Structure 1
Amino acid sequence: MPAHRGVDPPTLLAAHGCWYPSADPTGEHVAFICDRAGVPQLWSGPARGTEVHVLDGDPDPVTEVSWSPDGRWIAYTSAPGGGEHTRVLVVRPDGTGRQVLAGAEPGSSAHLGCWTRDGTALAVTVAHPSPVRSEHAGPGHLPSKAEGASPTGGRTRGATSPERDGPALGPARRGGLAAYLIDPDAATAPILLFSEEGAASLRVCDVSADGRFALVRRGPRGGREALVLDIAAGRTSFDLHVADGDPWIGRFSADARTLWLRSDAEREFATLLRVRLDEEGRSRGLFVAAEREGSALDLLSVPDHGRWAVLAWNAHGATELETVGLTPDRTDDAIGPRHHPVLPHEVVTRIAPVERGGLFAALSGSRRRPGIWELDEALVPSRTSWSARDEDAVPPGRPPVRPVPLRCEARDGLVLGGWYYRAPEQDPGRPAPCVIHLHGGPEEQERPVFNPLYHELLGRGLDVFAPDVRGSSGWGRSFVDADLGAGRFAAIDDVADCAAHVVSLGYADPLRLGVMGRSYGGYLTMASLVWHPDLFRAGVAVCGMSDFATFFAGTEPWIAQSAAAKYGHPEHDRELLRSLSPMSRIDQLRAPVLAVHGEHDTNVPPTESEQFVRAARDRSVPARQLTLRNEGHEFLRADNRRLYRRAAADWLERHLRPAP
């Protein structure tokens, strides 16, 4: 039954976002994610028309989209209940034939990989449910890399025809990650490509045109690797460190003798590497094909024909886009002609090239909601008619605020960056109440993109400073690694140093400072409130970790594996993690705190907020928790996002706006 039949017509929002485009083989139609009906859903329609429609009207948020190269299927990832356990589905472009390929089993989670070049199979990564934990393993047991990385060629046993719950997948280890090739038509059984117990991440980024090799990205944050897998032989023939960030790290050339990679191996910033491969998929030399001083390659996209590529460079938060000709058969390390289109927005978040030429790009800017733009063969951008207009970004009469970049120096001399938003009609010569907002990650980066939360705060007369403390991306690999281990104490001090800097500039009132953040930023918020208890007058901690011991015991196993590489091992580094936990200094808390959490968050469980709020109340510190229904670690529903923004702004306005 078509996914869009029997669904009540949604109430469409004028101020909406469109992102994650994927074009059909002709480039005439686009599938994309849009929250026009209040929740991110799968939409599709003509690139140059207005008659777009919902392909899946279920209330589960959609997170990724990929149109098959043969045009017959659209694959996508959805998050049931808004939680962290996702599943992979496919649907026909007309809305028929919808089916779950992976992730339907209770406790499992599935993620999109690439399509094969002919569109007959889709790569899918599945996190299989963990077996019952043995008593001797303990809550902090994390298998090492050696405990079961297993490339596996051949077909799985027990495959069935695809039904609502998808084909049977096996025989991968329970409690690990496994990558499969799945035929949506069920003409062939699923193929198990690679499995790993205790893995932090696993994604199939490309399959060579002849079907011999797969490009796999694996490993924890800060330790990602690209592997070339010989599918038939079941062995890896090449591996190399690759950059964090966007998981789509490379592609094979049409003849599979060249591999294009986005990598920061042995360098500060990610570049475009060309890897020459022999007939067995082994490396015969690495060359830097494109690089920019002080800028990282954020996104790399190569069409199937492999004649050109689209590169998105991160220049201190803003995107510089270019297309380059690829010449894999040349004997030197040069690439072909370069073109640099002028963009109407500051940041590119997704690139979808069209085989015949041109591309679609998801763009976001500080004063515009996310939208999809088409760049024709001459690379002239035009907004798709179904993306929100610039004038719909904020309520009438309230023009969006464009932030200004700020640089400041931490107490140990490290230079930090960030963006300062001045509230409209603020007296330029008078210090204002200011909120220090901390992003997640910690490897994320503060970028000049439209943030409704900031505009809610600005509308209440609160300035916002959004810094990149050490550990953030965009400033080089050394900066990302500067918070490892005991370096996290310095990251906590960075928050205080950023606050002191905006006070010294005369922007912020030292008696009306607030701090807030989400995920790792929520952790930093709690940490800042107990390490610098007299600095901030209020805090809002969103989905933050309050105690590393309880976090590691309660999070997903693949998240724990990745987190251990960043924060410390729950067994080997127990004392360090205890000393870094905000709960270890809860007696120092003075400022009122609001904690916000999604009820289905299994990344950072809601108990992390609950125990912090409970401990604050036990010490007579004003504290409140807001739990959002049908949300996980990311807040994806428009009504919940609105509730969160208003609750956070109410809390901060109450404690910061009145003159001291």
Structure 2
Amino acid sequence: MGRGVDQLLRLASWRAFDVDESGRVLAGSDESGSVQLVELDPDGPSTPLTALPGACSGRYLPGERTVVVQHDAGGDERAQLSLLSLDPLPDRPAGLDDLEPLVRDPRYVHRLLDVLPGRVVFATNRRNGVDFDVVIRNLFSGEEETVYDHGGFVREVAVAPDSRYVLVSVPGEPALSMQLRLVDTMPETEDDHVVSLTGAQEHARHDHLFWLPGDRGFVVTTDRERDLLGVARYERAGGRWSWLVTSDEHELTGWLSPDGQLLLVETNDDGVGRLALHDAETGAKLHDLAVPAGGWVSWPLAEPAWSADSQLVALTFSSPTVPGDVLLVHAEGGEVRRLTNSPAQLGDEPLVEPTAYRVPTPDGEHIPCAVYAPAEADTPVGGSAVLVLHGGPEGQSVRTFNPIVQALAARGHTVVVPNIRGSVGYGKHWYSADDGRRRLAAVADLAALHDWLPTLGVDPSRVALWGGSYGGYLVLSGLAFQPERWAAGVDIVGISSLVTFLENTAPYRRAHREREYGSLERDRDFLLSASPITHVDAIRAPLFVIHGANDPRVPLSEAEQVVAAVQDKGIECELLVYQDEGHGLAKRVNRLDAYPRALDFLARHLAH
């Protein structure tokens, strides 16, 4: 039966949040059960920095031995900001009372965007609970300057070196698109204060914003006027765009060094990341980086972090067999040093590596997916399969460690991890293919995957769905719209009604999510028809539901209403609610409780 899920869930992982000029890395470790801050010294011991009630993240203040800590309460995502001095290093990890409050008001979100010498840049919805303003707080005087208050869900911000210009990305009208706005903090006229550099109707992503030296322009990862993401440069003089690095086969993401000389580029090869350093002026490749093969280094792990002197890059690396490690790159020669070592196997049993497939659909598309073959075929669940569906929908299942996938394969299930339409990583045409009233085309991809499974030797009568967030919506949709295909489902923080989800999600998220799913005002009829709860009478497969009581994205009521409806039909349906969790299970103690029970549930319903 292989290694137990308990052992897999107890494997500690690392991630890199920041790096200073001496090579010290501000890292996150979940060894304690939730992600806490640890400082890694390449030439000395590591120092645990925090012991907060929940997960946290942070950044170094430039030129100081101080960390800005971002934390929330019970997964409610209302981020608060505090300071932790590292001079001297603490002799014990800091609790909440040991931190110096910086920006705290638990009624609102205060999301850390950037750190500057003596200043912190954050986004907050404290003005009206919905729109996000961009604020720069002076750490010496305590004064705050609101540099952007023109509404919307602020995604990213880049402050120019002289702080006169601020680049802001906010949602455009097409789903997933982002509009770029340039803020002049010293405008000649009020009309010059905020200028839109891209149109609200432009169907394009604009991510990872970095100013060029001298405020002459910026570097951005974008798919404007093309299908695949590339790295482009914008010159303020003349408003001229030009491409630095592109590929006709893969999406690319770039991170500019603080001095504007180097560009770190990740190539997304079907969820496997390849890294190279490029000349930031010409885009020419300088050298590939020898990071471990077969894994991933950026979102959803943690973004690469440059040191202020542009000499070092701290990376997070994970693969299907590596839970998560911190790598330190020396930019000049491309040397890669591994600062932590998470295990590649448990005892004598290696973890499973996936095989890539493209699954055809009736309308001529092909679904990218990774298949994890069972570690041992001769088990009570041999011949069964579980589809593990990512959230988003604008997410991508990349080649990172997933203890659930490994536990399912260890028990004998074939595990299929697809990137159905709506997923990023495969071009604009693919992530847009489920927008609005095309939602059920993504559900139809589940049927195509089911029809293909017998080519892997899977018994089509013993296939289950597992998914979180939007993946939970897909689980419920599969059971409701295709009841004859699925033997069981595990729904984690999933949407059961697109209508009640949009009505009850956090106010600051509603308009942002309506771009993707449709408008309550204009599309209510379709939203009702595409909601699993509307078709709950068709569900006949047993269901296992997990939810956090503090979830601000998908409210607990989404789980409660579908569970009540399924139980009223006399179908087995169990609901686990965790009072100290939000959108997913961030604490190991809760994962150790929920996931073994969910796996046992699947084992009962998928056995021979």
TM-score > 0.5 by shorter chain? yes
Aligned match for 1:389, one of 342, 356, 369: 342
2:232 paired residue number: 273
Q: Distance in 2 between matches of 1:239 and 1:352?
A: 26
Q: Which residue number in structure 1 is paired with residue 132 of structure 2?
A: 177
Equivalent residue, structure 1, for 2:95: none
Question: Where does residue 90 of structure 1 map in the other structure?
Answer: 83
The residue type paired with residue 274 of structure 1 is R
1:53 counterpart residue number: 47
Contact 2:405 2:415 in 1 (8 A): yes
Give the C-alpha shift of residue 240 in structure 1.
2.9
In structure 2, the partner of 1:100 is 101
1:481 corresponds in structure 2 to 432
The runs of 5 or more residues in structure 1 that have no matched partner are 1-12, 129-171, 328-333
**CA shift in 2, pair 1:44/1:317, >3 Å:** same
Tell me, in whole angstroms, the C-alpha distance in 2 between the residues paired with 1:36 and 1:592. 34
* 8 Å CA contact 1:568, 1:577 repeated in 2: yes
- Counterparts of 1:90 and 1:579 in 2: how far apart (Å)? 48
Structure 2 residue identity aligned to 1:375:
V
Residues 45 and 93 of structure 1: CA distance in aligned 2, closer, same or farther (over 3 Å): farther
Matching of residue 341 in structure 1 with residue 341 in structure 2: no
| Residue deviations 1:220-275 (CA, integer Å, cap 9, x gap) | 65121222211223612342379988x96221112111211111112111111111
Maintained 8 Å contact 1:502/1:508? yes
Whole-Å separation in 2 of the counterparts to 1:541 and 1:627: 12
Is the counterpart of residue 626 in structure 1 residue 584 in structure 2? Answer: no
Displacement of 1:54: 2.3
Q: For 2:450, what is the secondary structure of its paired residue?
A: helix
1:173 and 1:617, CA in 2 relative to 1: closer, same or farther beyond 3 A? closer
Q: What is the rounded CA distance, in whole Å, between the counterparts of 1:583 and 1:337 in structure 2?
A: 52
Partner of 1:293: 248
1:616 and 2:574 aligned? no
Change (3 A) 1:16 1:326: same
- Find the partner of 1:357 among 300, 306, 311: 311
Contact 2:259–2:310 (8 Å) recurs in 1? no
Aligned to 2:326: 372
Partner of residue 168, structure 1: none
- Percentage of matched positions with identical amino acids: 24
Correspondence 1:218-617 to 2 at 5 A: 218-219=170-171, 221-233=175-187, 235-240=193-198, 249-278=208-237, 283-298=238-253, 300-327=254-281, 334-345=282-293, 346-349=295-298, 350-354=303-307, 355-376=309-330, 377-384=332-339, 387-391=340-344, 394-426=345-377, 432-503=383-454, 505-617=455-567
Match of 1:209 among 141, 146, 161: 161
Retained in 2: the 8 A contact 1:90–1:99? yes
Match of 1:79 among 72, 77, 85: 72
For the residues of structure 2 that align with 1:462 and 1:264, how far apart are their CA atoms? 38
Q: What secondary structure is seen at the aligned counterpart in 2 of 1:655? A: helix
Change (3 A) 1:243 1:23: farther
Cα distance in 2 between the residues matched to 1:397 and 1:629: 37
Amino acid corresponding to residue 473 of structure 1 in structure 2: V
Q: Give the residue type in structure 1 aligned to 2:167.
A: L
| Conservation of the 8 A alpha-carbon contact between 2:182 and 2:197 | yes
Aligned partner letter, 1:121: R
CA distance in 2, matches of 1:291, 1:35: 36
1:21 corresponds in structure 2 to 17
Return 350-359 or 603-612, whichever deviates more: 350-359
Q: Which ranges of 4 or more aligned residues in structure 1 deviate by more than 6 Å?
A: 241-245
Any idea what the Cα deviations from partners look like across 1:319-355, whole Å, max 9, x if unmatched? 111111222xxxxxx3345211122141112311232
Residues 97-246 of structure 1 aligned to structure 2 (within 5 Å): 98-102=99-103, 104-116=104-116, 119-128=117-126, 172-185=127-140, 187=141, 189-197=143-151, 199-204=152-157, 206-219=158-171, 221-233=175-187, 235-240=193-198
Q: Could you tell me how far apart the structure 1 residues matched to 2:184 and 2:142 are? A: 19
Question: How far is the alpha carbon of 1:356 from its aligned partner?
Answer: 4.9
1:282-314 deviation per Cα after TM superposition (whole angstroms, max 9, x unaligned):
x5311011111121123x322221111211121
**C-alpha offsets along residues 485-534 of structure 1, whole Å, 9 cap, x if unaligned?**
2211111110111121122x133111211111000000010000011101
Kindly state the Cα deviation for residue 583 of structure 1 after the two structures are TM-superposed.
0.6
Q: CA–CA distance in 2 between the matches of 1:52 and 1:184?
A: 27
For residues 29-50 of structure 1, give each alpha carbon's deviation from its aligned partner in whole angstroms, at most 9, with x where no partner exists: 111111111111111131343x
TM-score (norm 2): 0.90
Q: 1:296 to 1:512 in 2, by over 3 A?
A: same
- The residue number in structure 1 matching 2:28 is 33
Query: 8 Å contact 1:120–1:183 — kept in the other structure?
Result: yes
TM-aligned CA distance change 1:270 to 1:293, over 3 Å: same
Equivalent residues of 1:20, 1:65 under 8 A apart: no
Measure, in 2, the Cα distance between the counterparts of 1:447 and 1:18. 17
Shift of 1:86: 1.7
Q: Distance in 1 between matches of 2:475 and 2:361?
A: 18
Verify the 8 A CA contact 1:177 1:202 in the aligned structure 2.
no
Match of 2:107, as an amino acid? G
Q: How far apart are the structure 1 equivalents of 2:355 and 2:508? A: 38
Structure 2 CA distance, aligned partners of 1:72 and 1:191? Answer: 24
CA–CA distance in structure 2, aligned partners of residues 296 and 488 of structure 1:
24
* CA distance in 2: counterparts of 1:125 and 1:637, whole angstroms: 26
1:637 alignment counterpart? 587
Which letter does structure 2 place at the counterpart of 1:293?
A: D
Would you say the 8 A contact 2:257–2:310 is kept in 1?
no
Mapped partners of 2:231, 2:350: distance in 1: 39
CA distance in 1 between counterparts of 2:426 and 2:420 reads: 10
Supply the distance in 1 between the matched residues of 2:385 and 2:449 (Cα, whole angstroms). Answer: 11
SS in 2 for 1:240: coil
SS at match of 1:191: strand
Change (3 A) 1:556 1:596: same
Query: How far apart are residue 207 of structure 1 and its match?
Result: 1.2
Amino acid at match of 2:115: W
Q: Counterpart amino acid of 1:126?
A: T
Q: Secondary structure at the match of 1:348?
A: coil
Aligned pair in 2 of structure 1 residues 275, 477: CA closer, same or farther (>3 Å)? same
Q: How many matched pairs?
A: 576
Deviates more, 1:583-592 or 1:257-266: 257-266
Root mean square deviation, CA, Å: 2.2
In the alignment, the residues of structure 1 paired with residue 235 and residue 240 of structure 2 have an alpha-carbon distance, to the nearest angstrom, of: 5
Q: Counterpart amino acid of 2:236?
A: L
- Farther-moved stretch of structure 1 (512-521 vs 302-311): 302-311
1:141 matched residue in structure 2: none
